Amino acid sequence: MKVYQHLFFLNKDMVTVAEYNNSEKEFSYIRNKGEEEFPVTEDFWQWWKEAVSYISGEITDFCFIYDKEYNILSDGFIKNTQASGESCWTESRVIKFLTKIPEYGNIILTDCNGKTFPSENKAITGKNNETFYTNIEYKGRDRINTVPVKEGNGNISPLAEYYRGIMVSENK
Domain ranges of the chain: 3-101, 147-172
Assessment of whether the complete model's pTM goes beyond 0.85: no
Q: What is the pLDDT along the chain (172 residues), one digit of tens a residue?
A: 677 899 999 999 999 999 998 888 899 999 999 999 999 999 999 999 999 988 888 888 889 999 898 888 887 767 666 666 677 888 788 888 887 776 655 677 888 778 877 544 344 444 456 788 888 876 654 443 333 333 344 455 566 666 566 666 655 4
How far is it, in rounded angstroms, from Cα 23 to Cα 99?
Answer: 20
Beta carbons of 149 and 142 less than 8 angstroms apart: no
| b (16+ CB within 10 A) / e for 149-169 | eeeeeeeebeeeeeeeeeeee
